[in-house]
Amino acid sequence: MIKRLMRGTSVLLFTAVAACATDEQTANEQAPDSLASVSATERRDLETLSSYELSMEDLERWAQANVAVSKVVRQQPELEAQMAINAEDASIDTLAARMEAVPPVKEAIESSGLSAHRFATITYTIMQVAMAQLALQQGVPADSFAARGGINPRNLEFYVNNRIEIDRLMQQLKETRRR
């Protein structure tokens, strides 16, 4: 499911891609400073992502929810198709609605203490900061993300400061999904 979501996050991650441009003019052409070129849904997602602040507590709950959802889907594989999102429809609200529409999945998420919307927000935030981190490793300054909107600079800092723990959580999730 996360792999499908990653295909649909191009607009949410436009700031990271634009920041990777080789010069400022190219960056401005790829992602204008104004959000005029994005849809209302995309704008809502960018606003949600820029205002949400990652925490270790939320990440741990998100990981617990992923484990619980994986168990449900393993027991009822037909549910995965019900939650599928195509790239054109990918958004925080769409992911949350799909999760809420499948009662066993909604219950699995809520068992971790998260709402479906918070789960979706954390999912997109993690993908967004991971992509931004790749850009940072290529020498893009962190403040360039904040200038374009959509990425909370505190989330980049959180990701860098907690990288070992985040990698550990992600590895645990991978192992859990293989079982």
CA distance 75 to 108: 12
Residue 175 is predicted with a pLDDT of 87
Interval 33-69: pLDDT, tens: 445 567 888 889 989 998 999 999 999 999 999 999 9
Write out the two tokens for 149. 């909107």
Residue 153 DSSP one-character state: H
Report the C-alpha gap between 135 and 110 in whole angstroms: 33
Flag the least confident range among 13-22, 39-48, 123-132, 159-168.
13-22
The residue to which tokens 């741990």 are assigned: 60
pTM for this model (two decimals): 0.77
- Predicted pLDDT of residue 32: 42
Chain-wide mean pLDDT for the chain? 78
pLDDT tens-digit readout, 105-139? 999 999 999 999 999 999 999 998 888 888 888 88
Based on the structure, what is the number of domains in the chain? 1
Beta carbons of 140 and 19 less than 8 angstroms apart: yes
Cα–Cα distance measured from residue 128 to residue 9, given in angstroms and rounded to the nearest whole number: 8
Q: Are 42 and 54 in contact (CB under 8 A)?
A: no
- Count of Cβ atoms closer than 10 Å to residue 94 Cβ: 18
Alpha-carbon distance 160 to 134, whole Å?
11
Supply the range of the domain harboring residue 102: 2-178
* Local confidence band at 25 (pLDDT 50, 70, 90 cut-offs): very low
- Give the Cα separation of 153 and 95 in Å (integer): 24
Q: Which residue has the tokens 């295909």?
A: 7
Is the per-residue pLDDT at 5 higher than 60? no
Residues 44, 35: Cα–Cα separation, whole Å: 11
